[in-house]
A and B are shown apart, each in its own frame.
Chain A
Amino acid sequence: MKQPTPSFLKATLAIASKDLAAEFRSRELLSAMLVFSMLVILIFNFALELDVKVRQSVTAGVLWTTFAFAGTLGLNRSMAVEKDRGCMDGLLLAPVDRAAIFFGKAISNLTFMLVVEAIVIPLYALLYNETRIFQLEFLGVLLLGSIGYISVGTLLSTMTVQTRTRDVLLPILLFPVAVPVLLASVKASGGIITGAEFAEILTPLNLLIVYDVIFLAVSYMVFDAVVEE
């Protein structure tokens, strides 16, 4: 008898929804990411003395640094859970395409990051009376940047949980490779906040899209090599 194999999309969504269901029951990861984000912003507040003038130029940088740090926290945790409880072996034994595991994990990681962003952005706007971040373009850049960061982050965290130094290693591997996403996002969202011409924002935006497409494709292709035992 032939085993029924679920379609690629079904398998991807199943893995993502299992992560989301587990997370929305325990809320360990999201609460850690949120509290951590608020602490980072608090530290920036005093370290950079975020008065009205400074905020003009650094809001995009502060927000992206916060999300990058909180992102590594989430990526580490979400993969460590799979590894420690032996769930990864279960996933690998499942009769699904390995790439579905990658996309499933990437979708759940992206959701966590977007949820954190959706809470931190209004809070930042409230704390600093910065309503210019509620622009559709700004949110679009946020989404594109998060996709690029999470796609390469999911791949690298799958690698780092298997190493001896695990949690320490992820930011060290991820940050230099993710520099283009972070810089392009800061450039684009900074331009949007200060009301720059659209032509000025277009180049970083294009690079962001290029990065997203390339790294999603590469991560999809090499994920097999990272999980095989």
Chain B
Amino acid sequence: MQARPVFLKILDYLSIIVLGVSTYLALVFAPTEAVMGDVQRVFYFHIGTAWVGLMGFVIAAVSGIIYLVTKDMKWDRFEVAAVEVSTVFFFITIALGSIWARPAWNTWWTWDPRLTTAAVTELIYIAYFMLRAGLEDPEKRARFGAVYTLLGGISAPITFMVIRLFRTIHPVVIGSQSAEAQGGFSMTSDMKVAFFFALFAFTIIFIDMIWHRIRLGNLQDNVEQLKLKVTM
């Protein structure tokens, strides 16, 4: 096995540092929100994880398309890495949102468009892993995986548009607010610092994790090839 590249090592340490700083900014530095109080601090990590989660799903769909065109297994490993890391981050987003919703909306869960879309999206990518688990041929697994991430990537935005026909109470902090939203607020400049730093921090952590996952994918491939050699 190759040793960790220097740049990856640096990225590992950087990830730990930015996570620490971001935690400090979110929990101590940012002012307490006037109406909701301390629970609003969940917001920084909620958006941070949602950002990388959604970015990962888009990356996965794009690398799926590239795989279908080039048939290079490298893109399949990239796609799996993106989906796997994003599914975890997206689950954290949903859990954090739920923690916030309990005091703000007085319920853990509601069938709001964003929440429903998030749940459906998460289910799509869980189904993705079940599809891959059902296939033994790595090349077929890669092809089917790429097709499914593509379908999921197209379906999720349409799901959001359809469910919006029902109604929404999810606040929109950036951009225009809907009249029925509950729990919205506007950010002060200190909040913005914590907010943008959280986005930056999670992007770094995301890149670091994807890199590790791709290395793991390469190792898995090597093991499979060695196993084939032994049985032959």
A interface residue numbers (CB < 8 A to B): 152, 155-156, 159-160, 162-166, 169, 172-173, 176-180, 183-184, 187, 203-204, 207, 210-211, 214-215, 218, 222, 225-226, 228
A207 B162 Cβ-Cβ under 8 A? yes
Expressed in whole angstroms, the minimum distance between the Cβ of A195 and any Cβ of chain B is 18
Q: Which chain A residues border B43 with CB–CB below 8 Å?
A: none
Expressed in whole angstroms, the minimum distance between the Cβ of B160 and any Cβ of chain A is 9
A169 B154 Cβ-Cβ under 8 A? no
Q: Which chain B residues border A169 with CB–CB below 8 Å?
A: 130-131, 134
B154 A218 Cβ-Cβ under 8 A? yes
B148 A173 Cβ-Cβ under 8 A? yes
Is B136 an interface residue, CB under 8 A from the partner?
yes
List, sorted by A's number, 25 A–B pairs whose CB atoms are closer than 8 Å: A159-B147, A160-B131, A162-B135, A162-B140, A163-B135, A163-B144, A165-B133, A165-B134, A172-B127, A172-B130, A173-B130, A176-B123, A176-B155, A178-B155, A180-B155, A183-B162, A184-B162, A207-B161, A207-B162, A214-B154, A215-B154, A218-B150, A218-B151, A218-B154, A225-B147
B146 A225 Cβ-Cβ under 8 A? yes
Which residues 170-190 of B sit at the A interface, judged by CB distance below 8 A? none
Is B34 an interface residue, CB under 8 A from the partner?
no
A184 to B166, CA, bound (A): 10
A207 to B164, CA, bound (A): 11
Q: Which chain A residues border B161 with CB–CB below 8 Å?
A: 180, 207
- A-B residue pair count with CB separations less than 8 angstroms: 89
On whether A187 and B144 interact (CB within 8 A), knowing A169-B134, A218-B154, the answer reads no
Q: Which 6 A-B pairs have the closest CB atoms?
A: A163-B134, A180-B158, A176-B124, A165-B134, A176-B123, A164-B134
Is B42 an interface residue, CB under 8 A from the partner?
no
Is B66 an interface residue, CB under 8 A from the partner?
no
A180 B162 Cβ-Cβ under 8 A? yes
A226 to B131, CA, bound (A): 13
Q: Which chain A residues border B146 with CB–CB below 8 Å?
A: 225
A179 to B120, CA, bound (A): 8
Interface SS of chain A = helix
A204 to B123, CA, bound (A): 23
- Could you say which of B124, B130, B143 contacts A177, with CB atoms under 8 Å apart? B124
B127 A173 Cβ-Cβ under 8 A? yes
- Could you say which of A164, A177, A183, A210 contacts B151, with CB atoms under 8 Å apart? A177
In this complex, how many residues of chain B approach chain A with their Cβ under 8 Å: the count is: 30
On whether A187 and B131 interact (CB within 8 A), knowing A176-B120, A225-B143, A226-B143, the answer reads no
On whether A222 and B158 interact (CB within 8 A), knowing A162-B135, A179-B120, the answer reads no
A204 B144 Cβ-Cβ under 8 A? no
Expressed in whole angstroms, the minimum distance between the Cβ of A226 and any Cβ of chain B is 6
Residue of A nearest to B160 (CB): A180
A188 to B42, CA, bound (A): 37
Expressed in whole angstroms, the minimum distance between the Cβ of B112 and any Cβ of chain A is 14
Expressed in whole angstroms, the minimum distance between the Cβ of B139 and any Cβ of chain A is 10
Residue of B nearest to A163 (CB): B134
Expressed in whole angstroms, the minimum distance between the Cβ of A66 and any Cβ of chain B is 20
Is B165 an interface residue, CB under 8 A from the partner?
yes
- Could you say which of B121, B134, B162 contacts A187, with CB atoms under 8 Å apart? B162
A183 to B161, CA, bound (A): 11
A178 to B156, CA, bound (A): 10
Is B68 an interface residue, CB under 8 A from the partner?
yes
Q: Which chain B residues border A173 with CB–CB below 8 Å?
A: 127, 130-131, 148
Expressed in whole angstroms, the minimum distance between the Cβ of A77 and any Cβ of chain B is 18
On whether A210 and B158 interact (CB within 8 A), knowing A159-B147, A163-B131, the answer reads yes
A98 to B67, CA, bound (A): 20
On whether A226 and B150 interact (CB within 8 A), knowing A164-B135, A165-B130, A203-B165, the answer reads no
